[in-house]
Chain A
Amino acid sequence: MPPPFFVAKNRTMITLLILAGSGLAILALIGLNAWLGGWTPSRIDSLDAALERFRRDYLDIAPAGSVLSSDGKAVLIADANSASTGMVIAQGDILVSRLVAPEDVAEARPDGASLMIRFRDFTFPSTRIELADDAEAARWAARLQGAH
């Protein structure tokens, strides 16, 4: 007969208690993380830094033009070899890069000097990129939709 230590009693109740306790612990840990701070919101300092970062993820990009958003939160890179556009977006304390083809873009429209982009990719949120002027926003919107 197995020793009492190994006997699982009231297993369902214990499991439910552990799950409830874990849920509370998660909320407490997120709160602690937010309260302690210690991370710095990411920011793109220069086009060169963004291009270097992008090339780490997409080795064979051939930049034909690029632009850094006025708030330092995003960079757009035109690929010379295709209709695709590279993007580096600041998110939390990290940067996320993507190479998007026109068919990956559900909507790209200028809103004054801002560029609004919605993707056909549920792992990448809709993005608002602040550019220098209306013409630049319109130009990148056209490229993202395949008219380059």
Chain B
Amino acid sequence: MDLFDPIQFAIPFFVLLIIAELAYARATGKASFEPRDSGASLAMGLGNVVAGVVFAGVGAAWYGFIGQYALFDFGWAWYVWIACFVLDDFVYYWSHRFAHTIRWFWADHVTHHSSQHYNLTTALRQPWFNIFTLKFIWFGSWMILLGFPPAMVAFCGALNLIYQFWIHTEVIRKFPAPIEAVMNTPSHHRVHHATNAVYLDRNYAGVFIIWDRMFGTFQAELDEEPCRYGIIRNLGTYNPLRIAIHEWWGIVKDVASARSIRHALAYVFAPPGWSPDGSRLTTKAIKKQAGVEKPVRSMEEARPASTPAE
């Protein structure tokens, strides 16, 4: 089956929502935009779409190839779609988690975190050189090898990304508890984008926050700890090409200066911030220094579910 690309059809809605958020920000001050930052994010989004078009054949060829070796043929029934969407979100969780904990993948993903603003344009600040990570092999193959149709997997992956667009906002504070318990929401994703030590490397979810709750990476947004966005070493440039390549270049420089093969490999595959002498800080070291190695419970979570009658 040949499916359309839902992301291309979602673009007009992205634009309309950004206009709405811009107007709301101007009227209420509850969101923050700066033209050069917005421009960089939007240009990176366009570049990501172009890169997707240019490299689409590579992924399609790979999926076509491994599709021959699928264990089962699940077909196109409605319940297969649901299973595909949920399982794809599970794979996304792990892909995203590795994107933060292995520098090779982080070099690509850091682009998305490189703005100190958090608004709908930030959602579109996407990498250009995703192809270098070969994530479509490491993470994209499992479901196809299991028996889901490649077009269905690609479609569900696109729906997952579309879902994640609207959660990049400071306009919506929190949803009712049952929604916050199950779904990834603006509040949960603000935490993910924050550089406060307590928030670093938390909330990797795409659509369902349950994966973070299951695997111990969930952190609620704390009233007493307002989110500060960006990366540990924030960028002073709005040039999209520089934003896209800066961490890749950092890897090249570090590997060139490495004194052993082991160090060279660690510069590529160890967590971001690793250095042989510990002069730079990984997330783990930052959390340890700040005394927040374990997730911190919010007041709401700490409160008993019901107040006993007096």
Interface residues of A (CB under 8 A from B): 2, 6-8, 14-15, 18-19, 21-23, 25-26, 29-30, 32-34, 36-39, 56-57, 59-60, 89, 91-94, 96-98, 122-125
Contacts and interface: CB of A to CB of B under 8 A. Distances in A.
A94 B116 contact: yes
Interface in B176-199: 195, 197
A96 B236 contact: yes
B236 A38 contact: no
A97 B252 CA distance: 23
B239 to A, nearest CB: 8
Contact of A125 (B197, B237, B289): B237
Nearest to A25: B15
A57 B232 contact: yes
Given A26-B39, A29-B15, A122-B246, A36 B237 contact: no
Given A19-B49, A29-B42, A122-B246, A97 B234 contact: yes
A15 B281 CA distance: 43
Chain B interface size range: 35 or more
Contacts of B289: 59-60
Nearest to B241: A122
24 contacts: A6-B4, A7-B2, A18-B8, A18-B11, A19-B53, A29-B22, A30-B35, A30-B42, A33-B22, A33-B33, A36-B22, A36-B26, A37-B26, A38-B29, A56-B195, A56-B228, A57-B232, A59-B197, A59-B289, A89-B236, A96-B234, A98-B236, A122-B246, A124-B235
A53 B246 CA distance: 24
